Amino acid sequence: MAFVSGLPYEVEVKVWTSIFVSTASFCPPARRKRRHWHVLDSRHGLVLFYTPKTRHDFLVCDLVTCKRWWINASPKCKDIMSADLDDHDEDENRTWNAMMFCAKEGCGHLDCHGLPFQVVFVGSYDKEGIILASVYSSETGEWSGTNSIAQPETIDKRGHSALVGNNVYFPCEERNRIVNYDMAEQELSVIDAPSEYQSDIVLMGAEDGMLLFTTVQNSKLCLLSMEAGPNRAEGWARSRVIELKPLLPLRALREDISVVGFAEGVGVIFLRTVAGLFKIELTAGRSKKVHEGTSFDKVMPYTRFYTGERGAAPIEKLHAHLFGATTV
Q: How many residues bind Zn ion (CB under 5 A)?
A: 6
Q: What is the sign of the dihedral through the CA atoms of 188, 87, 73 and 97?
A: negative
Judged by beta carbon, residue 56 or residue 109, the one nearer Zn ion is 109
Minimum CB–partner distance for residue 155 and Zn ion (Å): 26
What residues numbered 83-102 form the site for Zn ion, per CB under 5 A? 102
Minimum CB–partner distance for residue 103 and Zn ion (Å): 8
Judged by beta carbon, residue 159 or residue 205, the one nearer Zn ion is 205
272 forms bridges with which residues in the sheet? 258, 277
Minimum CB–partner distance for residue 106 and Zn ion (Å): 9
Q: How far apart are CA 79 and CA 204, in angstroms?
A: 28
Piece of 25-33, 38-46, 114-122, 153-161 that binds Zn ion (CB under 5 A): 38-46
What residues numbered 102-121 form the site for Zn ion, per CB under 5 A? 102, 104, 107, 109, 112
Q: How far apart are CA 99 and CA 191, in angstroms?
A: 18
Minimum CB–partner distance for residue 22 and Zn ion (Å): 22
Minimum CB–partner distance for residue 138 and Zn ion (Å): 12
Minimum CB–partner distance for residue 186 and Zn ion (Å): 22
Question: Closest by alpha carbon to 262, among 172, 163, 115?
Answer: 163
**Computed over its alpha carbons, how large is the radius of gyration of the chain?**
19
Judged by beta carbon, residue 65 or residue 146, the one nearer Zn ion is 65
Tally of helices (H runs) and strands (E runs) in the chain: 2, 23
What residues numbered 119-178 form the site for Zn ion, per CB under 5 A? none
By three-state DSSP, how is residue 270 classified? Answer: strand
Binding flags for Zn ion, 40-79, as an x/- string (CB under 5 A): ----x-----------------------------------
Q: How far apart are CA 84 and CA 323, in angstroms?
A: 24
Is the bond leading into 249 cis (omega within 30 degrees of zero)?
A: no
Q: How far apart are CA 151 and CA 183, in angstroms?
A: 18
3-state helix, strand, coil in the chain (%, to 5): 10, 40, 50
Judged by beta carbon, residue 221 or residue 322, the one nearer Zn ion is 322
The residues of the shown chain that bind Zn ion, judged by CB under 5 A, are 44, 102, 104, 107, 109, 112
